[in-house]
Amino acid sequence: YKEAWEKDKTMIHVMPDTPEINLAKANAVHYSQKKYKDAWDEVKVSYDLRADAIPIKTAKASREIASDYKYKLEHEKQKGHYVGVPNAKGDSKIQFALDVAKVQSEREYKKHFAKWRTQCHLPVDMMAIVAAKHGQTLVSDTEYRHYLHQWICLPDQNDVIHARQAYDLQSDAVYKADLEWLRGIGWLPNDSLGVKHVKYAGDLLSERKYRTQAAALPFTPVADRVDFVTAKNSGEILSDIKYHKAWNEAKSNYTLTDTPQLDMAREAARILNQ
Q: How far apart are CA 98 and CA 141, in angstroms?
A: 54
Q: For residue 187, what pLDDT is reported?
A: 65
Q: How far apart are CA 257 and CA 255, in angstroms?
A: 6
Evaluate whether residue 25 is within a structural domain.
yes
Counting the structural domains of the chain, the total is 1
Mean pLDDT of 86-105: 80
Nearest to 14 by CA among 27, 24, 28: 24
Contacts of 1 (CB under 8 A, 6+ apart): 271, 274
- pLDDT tens per residue, range 222-240: 788 888 899 999 999 999 9
- pLDDT at 129 exceeding the cut of 70: yes
- pLDDT tens per residue, range 135-182: 888 888 777 777 776 777 788 888 889 998 998 888 888 888 878 877
Evaluate whether residue 202 is within a structural domain.
no
Evaluate whether residue 64 is within a structural domain.
yes
- pLDDT tens per residue, range 102-115: 888 888 888 888 88
Mean pLDDT of 186-190: 68
Evaluate whether residue 123 is within a structural domain.
no
0.95 exceeded by the pTM?
no
Evaluate whether residue 61 is within a structural domain.
yes
Q: How far apart are CA 198 and CA 192, in angstroms?
A: 10
Domain that holds residue 43: 16-79
Evaluate whether residue 9 is within a structural domain.
no
Neighbours of 66 (CB within 10 A): 9
Query: Is the model more confident about 256 or about 206?
Result: 206
Q: For residue 253, what pLDDT is reported?
A: 73
Evaluate whether residue 127 is within a structural domain.
no
Evaluate whether residue 230 is within a structural domain.
no
Contacts of 49 (CB under 8 A, 6+ apart): 55, 56
